[in-house]
Amino acid sequence: MSARPEILVELPAAQPFAWRFPLERSALVVIDMQRDFVEPGGFGESLGNDVRPLQAIVPTVRALLDAWRAAGGFVVHTREGHAPDLHDCPPAKRNRGAPRLRIGDAGPMGRILVIGEPGHAIVPALAPQAGELVIDKPGKGAFHATPLQAELQRRGISHLVFAGVTTEVCVQTSMREANDRGYECLLVEDATASYFPAFKAATLAMLTAQGGIVGWTAPTAALTGALAAAARRPLEETP
């Protein structure tokens, strides 16, 4: 029996320098592409935000997902939300600020950020498929109070490619948690969005500063092109 050669996906133009990842030990982690953040009437809008910058990335995240799935890569989706009795929502989170609707209040898409409500669902275009992991998280980070670390370790995953919303809140928190746990991390620049474009730009810059202190970034086209090239390579190299 011959071992299958490891597929290495090369991103020579990643920031702050070239990145490569072994596809079979990598996961695409799509953070919180939920109706509550992306659509009018949800949590994001209740905080006073314009959701249009988040809506704008849905086709790009879909293109990334399509390419990752076509390459046979493992996909993780996260959803921020709380149990109906809100036992996992600290008062410090529920009572913060002066939103129009608080977590647990009834809105046009059901109770805000409550598991099982329509607004808690991932937008239909990015719905999880069979075999993909869905992580429900009560915090901003994907590792806090979730089984994510155990699930990744069980699969031998060492490299994480992040997409989703919002760049400086749940995506950045999750990437920092992952970096501290020893994962090699890359954020896909145009497959993430913030309600505040300046915060997105600052986040991309601070993650990659100081020699990639938190990780790397690259655009979707670099990922999709590299995945396609990696898929072709073994065939081309076969005499």
Angle between helices 172-180 and 197-212 (to 10 degrees): 20
Annotated catalytic, 85? Answer: no
Q: Which two tokens stand for residue 12?
A: 């020579």
Q: How far is the CB of 139 from ligand TIU (least distance, A)?
A: 9
Instruction: Name residue 122's beta-bridge partners.
Output: 34
Minimal CB distance to ligand TIU: which residue?
170
Q: How far is the CB of 80 from ligand TIU (least distance, A)?
A: 5
Which of 96, 232 has the CB closer to ligand TIU?
Answer: 96
Chain-centre distance for alpha carbon 91: 26
Indicate the Cα dihedral angle 137, 141, 142, 147, nearest 10°: -70
Question: What 3-state DSSP class applies to 164?
Answer: strand
SS3 content of the chain, % helix, strand, coil (to 5): 40, 25, 40
Which of 35, 222 has the CB closer to ligand TIU?
Answer: 35
Active-site hit among 89, 137, 140, 185:
137
Which of 34, 224 has the CB closer to ligand TIU?
Answer: 34
Active-site hit among 36, 140, 170, 200:
170
Backbone angles phi, psi at 83, to 5 degrees: -65, 155
Which of 21, 37 has the CB closer to ligand TIU?
Answer: 37
Angle CA(58)–CA(122)–CA(228) in degrees, nearest 5? 50
Q: How far is the CB of 17 from ligand TIU (least distance, A)?
A: 28
Annotated catalytic, 32? Answer: yes
Annotated catalytic, 185? Answer: no
Q: How far is the CB of 77 from ligand TIU (least distance, A)?
A: 12
Binding site for ligand TIU (CB under 6 A): 32, 37, 47, 80, 140, 165-166, 169-170, 195
Q: How far is the CB of 168 from ligand TIU (least distance, A)?
A: 7
Residue 74's closest CA among 187, 197, 157, 141? 157
From CA 13, how far away is CA 155, in angstroms rounded? Answer: 28
Which of 21, 195 has the CB closer to ligand TIU?
Answer: 195
What's the half-sphere exposure (Cβ side, CA atoms, 13 Å) at 195? 15
- Residues involved in catalysis: 32, 137, 170
